Amino acid sequence: MIKRTLKVNGIDRMVLAEPDTSLALVLRENLGLTSVKVGCAQGQCGSCSIILDGKLIRSCTRKWAKLKDGAQITTLEGIGTPGNLHPVQMAWIAHGGAQCGFCSPGFIVSSVALLAENPSPTREEVRDWFQKHRNACRCTGYKPLVDAVMDAARVMRGEMTMEDLQFRIPEDGRIWGTRYPRPSAIAKVTGTWDFGADLGLKLPQGTLHCALVQAEVSHANILSIDTSEAEAMPGVFKVVTHKDVKGRNRITGLITFPTNKGDGWDRPILCDDKVFQYGDAIAIVCADSDRHAQEAAKKVKVELEQLPEYMSAPAAMADDAMEIHPGTPNVYYIQKVAKGEDTRPIFDRDDVVIAEGDYYTQRQPHMPIEPDVGFAYQDENGKLFIHSKSIGLHLHLFMIAPGLGVEPENMALVQNPTGGTFGYKFSPTMEALVGAAALATGRPVFLNYDWYQQQTYTGKRSPFITWLRMAASRDGKLLGMETDWTVDHGPYSEFGDLLTLRGAQYIGAGYDIPNIRGEGRTVCTNHAWGAAFRGYGAPESEFPSEVLMDELAEKLGMDPFDLRYANVYRKGSTTPTGQDPEVYSLPEMMDKLRPKYEEARKRAAANSTAEIRRGVGISIGVYGSGLDGPDTAEADAELNADGTVTIYNCWEDHGQGADMGSLGTAHEALRALNLTPDQIRLVMNDTSLAPNSGPAGGSRSQVLAGQAIVNACQQLVKAMTRPDGTLRTYDEMVAEKLPLRYNGKWTAPANDCDENGQGNPFCCYMYGVFMSEVAVEVATGRTTVEAMTIVADIGKVNNFLLVDGQIYGGVAQGIGLALSEDYEDIRKHSTMVGAGFPYIKQIPDDMEIMYVETPRPDGPFGASGVGEMPLSAPHAAVINAIYNACGVRIRELPARPEKVLAGLKG
């Protein structure tokens, strides 16, 4: 142990800690300064940034033994408080800088250090600073953060006031359609928003720390598991294996398609007979400290019989490949698409122009800054409570309850304040593990993945291998499309069939293609399991069709813009599923973009040199809001004794702003009550307290949960309204024995697709038109995205601060998908840098959003969703821009420099 006396946030503190403990953990665990977040723990994310003796450092890489006595430390707690915000914190709120909020403390501390050194930075100097200090954000696309620093600097120089940054509610009192800050903003910018790991420090004495014993091969039979040596280690309470799980020891994938050849019970909670992928959980060590648990986990002996590892769909489809799940073929689901006439005669005609190609979208990792974390306990009545990052609370409850041997009514799931998930938490990850550990030990248990575990044992975007061809008349009218797609969904079937269906729904989306034929398939492999990722099927499906549209335009001798404009949805058009689009705004959106496109093309031509080639690319992105067919959500509204209203829902939040979505929708629905926003209370994301609003996926929440909120509020207002139109008070409602709480329910007017992919799966869609401006360095093949322009129609906008951030962040992830991100090599791609995480200098500061707000007939107050649209197709615009710049056509992502360079040389 080493003792040091430090001056922390201006106060002398004596601290005793082990020499090899990181400074970040000392600040968090010894001093309770939980604004210091631990994300990667490798100095690659900046969430642990503090100021040490006047210099900005990442505290996760500084060992306690290296700290000098008397060192001066400033954390976010010493910069500002909820009642006394620093200008940087106020600016962060004003510009929506805190989305999920996990990286916000590190960024704010970093910004304060920057402004102390340089009170008048340029935007590029701010970007250089964040790049140098490895401040990473996965949510915002960085632009709002730079905006915030620039305004904070103006306040600190006396050119603006704090009041100038504060939101002012309009005179009519309406917050719908404004930039009203999310309710959690103050807590997030002051570090008082407790994420899962912060709550873990506040669990009661006797809580057990969990460490997983995980597979280090991708496919094997388990011959034996010996826990005896581990159980004898200091501090170990119990080592939990499959033998301790009382239920089926399986997580059900809730297979709903009758053509699926599996049964959905293929994913073990704890491996019993086999290992199916690298990182699979084999045992859980439960001990009195994390250190003891980790040390004991190394002592669990697992004897394996290595089996062939099928790390790609083609390998698993080979004739000699064994069945990964015995009894279920590796190709376990087939999806057809058949629209209009037979396409073969069209492609045989002499008067058509045909373009075709093979395309690949990779296994994109979600890379949240906050690793997966959760805990579980049984309450005084024996009910099992599981707290996690789940974005599908009721869904996950029913997926894991049979496996744990617990009746659903004896279990509750609660979402902790959550650092971005971007979809990976649509699948249960650790929920069943902590549940099993709590049941087996009878004690509260806590499990926090490190970033290596986050990367190696959570789901990824499933790779698509797609062949596609299109036929058009010589004047550019699309006549037919044929396609074949293969989905590498990893070893577990959950949602794999639904993902494969997305190929039928979104390949060619946005265009009036009268005749389509195709087939897709879901393949079981031994690589990382396929999980939902923002866009869920659209980035994989729209990439090939959007790149092929450019290739077809070249064959026709047309501008890619003009070919798209001639074929986008108009009255009389139908989607690939044969559905009439609910709105026809794409021509207007393209009209809005056209002058900017023409200017960008001229600019690229004027600024290209022999060394740097510049180009412009466009794409169209389409996505539905919902989970196919008659999707349903519920929410409650309750009148309180003081005249305020409480909204209850499970609109899960993974950084997108569910609190503000709920508040904005409820406030608009309750306008008759003349409430201020702070008179609406939110009780969210606890299955024991709130009804089933459905999972936060498929950009469904604003539409489905939003409509349920509206319905509940309308019922409440109707009950409060007397025949003369005046409103009853709470006391009058009680006196008249009228209910105070109302359950709102809404079901989408949609139907499931048939075996040929035809139907009306979604009542609301989102539309985006993307333009990318890139520079390609001829000597290296390195591509830089210099600007992105997005025209978005997401219906009427609930809150511009939120949707701006969603679009910037989604586009940034699309740039990563286009150029750098991958999880193919398990070792190489297990770190942020190795997996191609885009830092601020990889994302352009020049990003512009233009809105076309076409009211949706079935959306609450005309709103549609937003989250998926910005990642539906921006990567295709980047790839098309690369070709426009230098003539290199990339069909397999990511377009790393060596790939572009090979094309230049070829």
Distance CA 281, CA 275 (A): 9
Cβ neighbours of residue 540 closer than 8 Å, sequence gap 6 or more: 361, 461, 462, 463, 464, 466, 485, 487, 502, 503
pLDDT at residue 742, as a whole number: 98
Cβ neighbours of residue 451 closer than 8 Å, sequence gap 6 or more: 39, 40, 41, 42, 371, 831, 832
Is-contact 418 655, C-beta < 8 A? yes
**How many Cβ atoms from other residues are within 10 Å of residue 54's Cβ?**
10
Q: Does pTM surpass 0.85?
A: yes
Indicate the SS3 state at residue 24. Answer: helix
Cβ burial of 83 (10 Å; 0-12, 13-18, 19+) is exposed
Joined together, the tokens standing for residue 72 give 């001066």
pLDDT at residue 258, as a whole number: 76
Distance CA 488, CA 462 (A): 6
What pLDDT digit, counting tens, does each position of 31-56 carry?
999 999 999 999 999 999 999 999 99
Q: What is the residue-averaged pLDDT of the chain?
A: 97
Q: Which of 431, 599, 868, 892 is catalytic?
A: 868
Q: Of all helices (H) and strands (E), which one includes residue 486?
A: strand 478-488
Q: What share of the chain is helix, strand, coil (3-state, %, to 5)?
A: 35, 25, 45
Joined together, the tokens standing for residue 159 give 């050119």
- Residue among 415, 416, 411, 414 nearest 401 (CA): 411
- Residue among 661, 806, 801, 809 nearest 167 (CA): 801
pLDDT at residue 256, as a whole number: 67
The upper half-sphere exposure of residue 311, i.e. CA atoms within 13 Å in the direction of its Cβ, equals: 8
Is-contact 422 813, C-beta < 8 A? yes
| Residue 371 amino acid letter | P
Distance CA 786, CA 816 (A): 14
Joined together, the tokens standing for residue 234 give 């200091």
- Which residues of the chain, if any, have pLDDT below 50? none
Distance CA 700, CA 627 (A): 7
Task: Identify whether 163 is a catalytic site residue.
Answer: no
Is-contact 193 155, C-beta < 8 A? no
